[in-house]
A and B are shown apart, each in its own frame.
Chain A
Amino acid sequence: MQIERFYYDNKIVKWFGYVTMLWGIVGMMAGLYVAIQFYAPGAAMNFAPTTFGRMRPVHTNAVIFAFVGNSIFTGVYYSLQRLCKTRMFSDRLSWIHFWGWQLIIVAAAITLMMGYTTGKEYAELEWPIDIAIAAIWIVFGINLFGTIIKRRENHLYVAIWFYIATWVTVAMLHIVNSFEIPVSLMKSYSWYAGVQDALVQWWYGHNAVAFFLTTPILGLMYYFLPKAANRPVYSYRLSIIHFWALIFIYIWAGPHHLLYTALPDWAQSLGVVFSIMLIAPSWGGMLNGLFTLRGAWDKVREDPVLKFFVVAVTCYGMATFEGPMLSLKSVNAISHFTDWTIAHVHIGGLGWNGFMAFGMLYWLVPKMWGTSIYSKKMANNHFWLGTIGVVIYAVPLYWAGFTQAQMWKTFTAEGQLKFQFLETVTHILPMYVTRSIGGSLYLVGAIIMVVNLAKTIAKGNFIANEAAEAPAREVPDSALREYWHRWIEKRPMTLMVFSLVVVAIGGVLEMIPTFLIKSNVPTIANVKPYTPLELHGRDIYVREGCYTCHSQMIRPFRDEVARYGEYSKAGEFIYDHPFQWGSKRTGPDLAREGGKYPDSWHYNHMLDPRIMSPGSIMPNYPWLLDNKLDTASTPAKIRAMQTLGVPYPNGYDKIANTDLCNQAAAIKKSLKKDKIETTADVEIIAVIAYLQRLGKDIKMAPQQDDAIK
């Protein structure tokens, strides 16, 4: 057995660690900025790129893909080398991965602020960036699997299976959810529409949580927690069981984002049941982590790293109990569209993801610079600021969520809705203020960490290439008593394929039926495609991110039908590429907005929402009144829609602009009646046309002709 000398690459870990901290601060500041806009909408400064609708995806993409993403790569590049007892497969691929990912992040920030968005949550980036993400992910995969294959350690430690499952599933999710038809360089339409798009989107969205925010971090937990505590994980058997259970069950949970919507009932029920079952494997992971520290709790008292890990794992447990509870239809009836969802998200994001990243960085930096932490006191202060910050973030939002839901559902003794929608928003503004204080504390803590680690780095000496030695890998003797998991552990490619099959089953079974059944989505005779002008208006709605505050999905509840009109039917959304059902009601639902107000109401409302709704927190959209509508793109948009199956007549793309001009002229005329002078070629005309179309089709008498209205 020959001993081989080699070196671990710490440089790549260092750089991923640096950008983790950079994007963490940037992402949290973006979060604080949008949080402030809830009670100070003027903070958008009348500037399109900084409105909530555009900045919210900047925040979510920054914290998920830039902050957590880079923290994953930091931890994976460090742990994988040492678990495999080999250097990364290719230094060059490491750096292509690093620079590629950071360029994607920068491109994301710029394009999102400019309004280039697909309108699909957590997948907002347009198609050229989607392709770049796929390319860099493949680079990462080659490096990951190459390292595993050239390993000197026979067994694949549990962390590595989590990394494999992450890589495989994220690839599958990204590719399937990103099926879109480009219309221009930075604009595309989702291949899916309406109900199907909703299902694909939330199959993706929930599994982004599962396989980007959970499984890789569990992998990191299985490495860094034992390292920091210097004890092996509590139960390796449990880690095997909960790994397979987690990756199988998680995939099915997506429909819990669509409860009481127009999604078919069988899909909703599957989502509920599997979400409840998910408690078991999730808590398996939590208990495995916490029990690893049994008998060593005195270490936790002394070591900030362990403090962060303990709170992180506890928050993981809390969030993975709360999530299944929110997946119960009765609970979801109250929580959906409220701030309760945001509170839940941030327990996981701030508590689990953030604290795991912090703990890992506090452990890694002294290690890689061969020194001790500059100030344990500062680290402890960060810990307390962060923990209290999480609490002050979440509790006001629980209060806000409950309050708003109750207010929405309150009827007077005479049977009328008691509260106007706007009242339910202004009532909870103090909660939004408090929430942003919590977030600020959390951010201050993170800044303290950066200072502390900078000073640690200054007093240490970086070990760029860490010497190590290990025997060459021995060929396993397969005649001995090998249990099947050791068999599969030795075959990482097989493990990858098996994981892919396991995670694919859930998606295939939930989604394929909706695609293959002709009558699955009941078609409603009156529902017709959007007119060209309305299509433009819809694209502007997507561009400005209106769906981040306004839903378009009326649930079959008495209070919603009373407030918004007939509840939404699946067949109404068949031409919606992408769907825009929304996830939050900071503003009222718009599903049946068509015909509620005159055109002039919408004109004034966009100019300054407070003209029509005093006390509104919506930002101003004055540029819509001046920007010229891009009618040159109409033919391309119509053709794209035709490819997607929307039944515009053949050759309609050539004459679409004529219909557009006629409809715009009519709107201009109706505005003039209300003393508003405008040209017919500005974006607001298109937006008004779109808003006035929403939800109207099912109210119309059956049509005899087949012309597009």
Chain B
Amino acid sequence: MKFIHYLEKITGISIYPLASFCIFGLFFLAMLIWVFAADKKTIREISRIPLDEPFQ
């Protein structure tokens, strides 16, 4: 495959995986906090959406 801009060396490349793991980590931390802080009633309502119940 031909690309135009080649990296000449790979030293210091670790900033990219580091950045991605930070994004991943922060995202998941935030998600976990919100999931466990969620309102019980809302959770119950949403989990019952597929079941045959008259509309609320």
Query: Which B residues touch A470, using CB under 8 A?
Result: 55
Neighbour of A485 across the interface among B16, B31, B44, B45, CB < 8 A: B31
Query: Which A residues touch B27, using CB under 8 A?
Result: 244, 502
Q: Is the CB of B24 within 8 A of A248?
A: yes
**Known A483-B39, A644-B1, A645-B1: A245·B28 in contact at CB below 8 Å:** yes
Q: Does A509 contact B (CB under 8 A)?
A: yes
Neighbour of A191 across the interface among B1, B45, B47, CB < 8 A: B1
Q: Is the CB of B6 within 8 A of A517?
A: yes
Residue of B nearest to A229 (CB): B51
Q: Is the CB of B8 within 8 A of A157?
A: no
Interface residue ranges of A639-666 to B (CB < 8 Å): 644-645
Query: Which A residues touch B30, using CB under 8 A?
Result: 484
Q: Is the CB of A232 within 8 A of B5?
A: no
A172 to B7, CA, bound (A): 25
Query: 1/0 per position for B18-56, CB-CB distance to A under 8 A?
Result: 001001100110111011111100111111111110010
Q: Does A135 contact B (CB under 8 A)?
A: no
Q: Is the CB of B8 within 8 A of A236?
A: no
A241 to B34, CA, bound (A): 11
Q: Which range holds the interface residue count of chain A?
A: 35 or more
Q: Is the CB of B28 within 8 A of A83?
A: no
Residue of A nearest to B23 (CB): A505
A82 to B50, CA, bound (A): 7
Residue of B nearest to A179 (CB): B1
Query: Which A residues touch B6, using CB under 8 A?
Result: 516-518
Residue of B nearest to A233 (CB): B47
**Known A79-B50, A232-B47, A518-B8: A192·B1 in contact at CB below 8 Å:** yes
Q: Does B17 contact A (CB under 8 A)?
A: yes
Q: Is the CB of B55 within 8 A of A85?
A: yes
Max chain A CB contacts within 10 Å: which of B10, B31, B50? B50
Residue of A nearest to B35 (CB): A237
Q: Is the CB of A236 within 8 A of B28?
A: no
- Output the least CB separation between B29 and chain A (Å): 12
Q: Does A486 contact B (CB under 8 A)?
A: yes
Query: Which A residues touch B55, using CB under 8 A?
Result: 3, 85, 469-471
Q: Is the CB of B49 within 8 A of A485?
A: no
Query: Which A residues touch B38, using CB under 8 A?
Result: 237, 483, 485
Q: Is the CB of A153 within 8 A of B49?
A: yes
Binding site for A on B (CB under 8 A): 1-3, 5-10, 13, 16-17, 20, 23-24, 27-28, 30-32, 34-39, 42-52, 55
20 new A-B pairs (CB below 8 Å) besides A79-B50, A248-B24? A3-B55, A82-B50, A155-B45, A157-B50, A226-B47, A230-B52, A231-B51, A232-B44, A232-B47, A232-B51, A236-B47, A240-B35, A241-B31, A245-B28, A470-B55, A483-B39, A509-B20, A513-B10, A515-B1, A518-B6
